[in-house]
Amino acid sequence: MTAGVLQAATPPAEHGIARRVRDATVRAASRSLAVALGCGALAMAIVLVTLVQPGALHGVTQYDDGAYYGAAAQLSHGVLPYRDFTFVQPPGIAVLLTPVVWLTHGAGSSVGLGVARLLTALVTGLDAFLAAFVLRHRGKSASAIAGLGVAIYPAAFFADRTVLLEPYLVACLLGATALAFPKGRLGGPGRLALAGACFGLGGAIKAWAVLPLVCLAALALRRDGARGGLRRAVLPLIGGTAVGFGAICGPFFALAPGRFVHDVIITQLSRSAPQHLLANRLDVLTGLHGIAGIAPAGLAIPLGVAAVLLALAGWASLWPALLDVSATEERYFLLATATAVAAVLGAPDFYDHYGAFPAAFAALVAGCAASRARRLLARVAVAKGHPAPRLPIAAAALVFVLVAALVAGEIDFDVAATKGAGDPALAIDAAIPPGACAISDAPILLVSANRYLASRPGCPVVVDPEGTLLALSAGGPRPASATEVPGLAKIWHHWLAHTEFFVESGTDARRVPWTPGLSRWFAHQFIRLPDPGASVYVRRRYPKLAPLLSPRHWRAVVAARRAAALARH
pLDDT means per 10 residues, the chain with 569 residues, are 47 58 58 88 90 84 92 94 95 96 90 94 96 90 90 81 93 96 88 96 95 92 66 88 96 95 89 65 70 48 58 63 70 91 84 88 88 70 58 63 69 67 73 90 92 90 92 76 88 95 80 92 92 82 80 72 61
From 502, 552, 555, select the one nearest 525 (Cα to Cα). Answer: 502
Is 22 a domain residue?
A: no
- Same domain, yes or no, for 362 and 492? no
- Same domain, yes or no, for 350 and 478? no
- Same domain, yes or no, for 153 and 252? yes
Is 284 a domain residue?
A: yes
Is 1 a domain residue?
A: no
Is 16 a domain residue?
A: no
Q: Pick from 342, 371, 402: which residue ends a domain? A: 402
- Same domain, yes or no, for 377 and 456? no
- Same domain, yes or no, for 287 and 429? no
Paired with 81 in beta bridges are 85
Q: Pick from 402, 437, 462: which residue ends a domain? A: 402
Host H or E run for residue 323: helix 300-323
Task: Give how many domains the chain has, as a whole number.
Answer: 2
476 Rama sector, left if φ>0, alpha if ψ -120 to 50, beta otherwise: beta
- Same domain, yes or no, for 145 and 102? yes
User: Would you tell me how many other CB atoms lie within 10 Å of the CB of residue 219?
Assistant: 20
Is 62 a domain residue?
A: yes
Q: Which residues contact 477 (CB under 8 A, 6 or more apart)?
A: 272
Compute the distance between CA of residue 335 and CA of residue 271 in angstroms, rounded to an integer: 26
Compute the distance between CA of residue 217 and CA of residue 459 in angstroms, rounded to an integer: 47
Paired with 60 in beta bridges are 422
Is 2 a domain residue?
A: no
* φ and ψ at residue 560, rounded to 5 degrees: -65, -35
- Same domain, yes or no, for 252 and 318? yes
- Residue 473 near residue 269 (C-beta atoms within 8 A): no
Dihedral of the CA atoms 521, 523, 524, 526 (nearest 10)?
110
Which 3-state string (H, E, C) describes 235-252?
Answer: HHHHHHHHHHHHHHHHHH
- Residue 179 near residue 190 (C-beta atoms within 8 A): no
Q: What pLDDT, on the 0 to 100 scale, is given for residue 479?
A: 74
Straight-line distance from the first to the last Cα atom of the chain, in angstroms, rounded to the nearest whole number: 86
Q: What pLDDT, on the 0 to 100 scale, is given for residue 272?
A: 67
- Same domain, yes or no, for 363 and 506? no
Order of strands, edge to edge, in the sheet holding 526-528? 438-440, 501-504, 535-539, 526-528
Mapped onto helix, strand or coil, the DSSP state of residue 438 is strand
The two beta strands, 535-539 and 501-504, are antiparallel
* Length, in residues, of the chain: 569
- Same domain, yes or no, for 360 and 460? no
Compute the distance between CA of residue 351 and CA of residue 258 in angstroms, rounded to an integer: 28
Kindly calculate the radius of gyration of the chain based on its CA atoms and give it in whole angstroms: 27
From 112, 110, 129, select the one nearest 43 (Cα to Cα). Answer: 129
User: Would you tell me how many other CB atoms lie within 10 Å of the CB of residue 419?
Assistant: 11
Dihedral of the CA atoms 41, 46, 51, 54 (nearest 10)?
140
Compute the distance between CA of residue 425 and CA of residue 447 in angstroms, rounded to an integer: 9
Is 504 a domain residue?
A: yes
Between the alpha carbon of residue 408 and those of residues 286, 403, 415, 417, the distances in Å are 17, 8, 11, 14
Q: C-alpha angle 328/333/338, rounded to 5°? A: 125
- Same domain, yes or no, for 122 and 258? yes
Quote the domain boundaries for residue 530. Answer: 425-568
Q: C-alpha angle 272/469/66, rounded to 5°? A: 95
- Residue 435 near residue 58 (C-beta atoms within 8 A): no
Is 532 a domain residue?
A: yes
Compute the distance between CA of residue 334 and CA of residue 322 in angstroms, rounded to an integer: 10
Q: C-alpha angle 468/435/80, rounded to 5°? A: 40
Amino acid present at 193: A
Q: What pLDDT, on the 0 to 100 scale, is given for residue 564?
A: 64
- CA atoms within a 13 Å half-sphere pointing along the CA-CB vector of 199: 28
Q: What pLDDT, on the 0 to 100 scale, is given for residue 289?
A: 62
Paired with 535 in beta bridges are 504
CB neighbour class for 176 (10 Å; exposed up to 12, middle 13-18, buried from 19): buried
- Same domain, yes or no, for 340 and 250? yes
- Same domain, yes or no, for 452 and 368? no
CA quadruple 281, 58, 552, 549: dihedral sign: positive
Amino acid present at 480: A
